[in-house]
Amino acid sequence: MTSSRKNKTLLIDKEAASALELLKDGLLSPVESLMNEEQSTSVLKTGLINGKSFPFPFLLAPAGKMNTEVLTSLKKGEEVTILFEKKPFATLIVDEVFHINPSERIKQIYGTDDISHPGVMATFKRIGSLAVSGEYTLLNESSNTNKQIIEDAKKLIDAKHTTALVMAANPLHRAHERLIRQTLENTDLLVIFLLKPYTESNLSYKIRKKALDFFINNFLTKNHVVVVPLENSYIFAGYNEIILDAIVAKNYGCNKLTIGRNHAGLGMFYDCNSNKSIIDKVIGIDIEITVASEYVYCDKCTTLVSKNTCPHGQHHQISYHSNSILELLELGILPPTILMRKEISAVILSKLHPNRFKNLEKLYYDVLPVEGLLEEHTENDFYLELMKLYQTTSLT
């Protein structure tokens, strides 16, 4: 192999690196390589590769003046080193360099090139007008152990059916819990793909994973749920997201995929004067896709219900809007338990607002009932006990 110091170099970001890793791990099959111009044109026309769905061409087209200069100079058969975070990440043997229209590529991914759309501007900045195809080799490749974890979990319970759920759980609320339970009722093993974004999110992946693990370990049957991180790159961000979710889930060994009624990519496709969902465009991917009900809290039913079965109308229903619940948490307010389980709220608040109380022990003993014993208490304990006071009804 030619020394990387003699090779021309291309610079890529975390999203591109993640996509290249997904491809090498076989998680984007039927796509098996970077597409050349002929393959790209075919996928644009048909939405298929090898007779199976793939919503847009899989390309490497990094933006930037230096990248453009290098791509312009590359010849067929030449080796180029791909750098990520200033370190060699992969080497690529050039097959073809060809022009693409960044605006059209944005439309293929998001369904629009309107810069007011979330994510469009960020993606515009990272996509160039030249794409390169060819065989590439990852350097210092780390093995993806998640496939094996899922296989081991299947064997442990002799699972016949494995269902995938893709969620951000930002934050994990009661409707998420109901969706998880409902999905578990119809499968042997549930794989939750927990989205792991590249940009700063309101709740870090670590906090969301901790909250989800707490729920699974304390309120669900053992050995029937596996949590797998899914790096949420731009290729999953558009209206074709469900197709990509189905492809990745299938390649991870799932034979079912459940999506929520309010999934971002659902119901955004309109064709032949009739309403259809993007699910109708999934071809050749052998996975069963189920759309779950939308759950709300009804003050007449006094419980969490499906909108399909509750007769009382929206004026009696409380919907589960993650952004609004998160806003309460960011302000340090305990969400009502009909929105979030108190233990989950305590986990998140203690991480979002560490050391917020000047004298936690004094506040604990002044405000809460205690047995007289001097014990050390955490902020998590304080939130749990405080929620109990909120739920006391004798004086209300």
Q: For residue range 307-355, list pLDDT tens digits in order.
A: 889 999 899 999 999 999 999 999 999 999 999 999 999 999 999 999 8
CA gap 318, 258 in Å, rounded: 23
CA gap 166, 231 in Å, rounded: 11
Q: Which of 120-134, 317-331, 353-367 has the lowest mean pLDDT?
A: 353-367
Task: Look at residues 2, 230, 196, 198 and name the one whose alpha carbon lies nearest to residue 84.
Answer: 198
Task: Look at residues 163, 198, 6 and name the one whose alpha carbon lies nearest to residue 85.
Answer: 198
pLDDT at position 182: 94
pLDDT at position 266: 61
CA gap 197, 133 in Å, rounded: 26
Q: Is the peptide bond before 229 cis (omega within 30 degrees of 0)?
A: no
pLDDT confidence bin for 4, thresholds 50/70/90: very low
Q: What percent of the chain has pLDDT over 90?
A: 68
Q: Which two tokens stand for residue 124?
A: 């515009």
DSSP label at 91?
E
Distance of CA 149 to the CA centre of its chain: 19
Domains 9-138 and 145-296 share a fold: no
pLDDT confidence bin for 1, thresholds 50/70/90: very low
Residues 6+ apart with CB under 8 A from 287: 246, 249, 250, 254, 255, 256, 257
Q: Output the CA–CA distances (angstroms, integers) from residue 344 to 179, 209, 336, 356, 378, in the order listed.
A: 16, 11, 11, 18, 15
When the pLDDT of each residue in the chain is averaged and rounded to a whole number, the result is: 89
For residue 49, how many other CB atoms are within 10 A of its CB?
A: 19
pLDDT at position 36: 97
DSSP-derived 3-state class of residue 44: helix
pLDDT confidence bin for 253, thresholds 50/70/90: very high
pLDDT at position 200: 61
DSSP label at 302?
T
- Indicate the pTM of the whole model: 0.89
pLDDT at position 370: 75
Q: Which listed CATH number (1.10.10.10, 3.10.400.10, 1.20.120.1200, 3.40.30.10) goes with 9-138?
A: 3.10.400.10
Q: Which two tokens stand for residue 282?
A: 């999934």
Strand partners, 225: 190
CA gap 51, 275 in Å, rounded: 24
Residue 273 pLDDT more than 60? Answer: no
DSSP label at 23?
H
- What's the whole-number mean pLDDT along residues 258-281? 61
Residue 275 pLDDT more than 70? Answer: no
pLDDT at position 96: 97
Cα Rg, the chain, nearest whole Å: 24
Q: What percent of the chain has pLDDT over 70?
A: 92
Q: Where exactly are the structural domains of the chain?
A: 9-138, 145-296, 332-390
CA angle, residues 214, 245, 48, in degrees to nearest 5: 170
- One-letter amino acid at 392 equals T
Q: What is the pLDDT of residues 45-84, one digit of tens each?
A: 999 999 999 999 999 999 999 999 999 999 999 999 999 9
- One-letter amino acid at 25 equals D
CATH of domain 145-296: 3.40.50.620
pLDDT confidence bin for 276, thresholds 50/70/90: low
pLDDT at position 2: 44
CA gap 166, 194 in Å, rounded: 6
Specify burial of residue 347 (Cβ count, 10 A radius: 0-12, 13-18, 19+): buried
Residue 201 pLDDT more than 70? Answer: no
pLDDT confidence bin for 97, thresholds 50/70/90: very high
Residues 6+ apart with CB under 8 A from 269: 239, 276, 277, 278, 280, 281
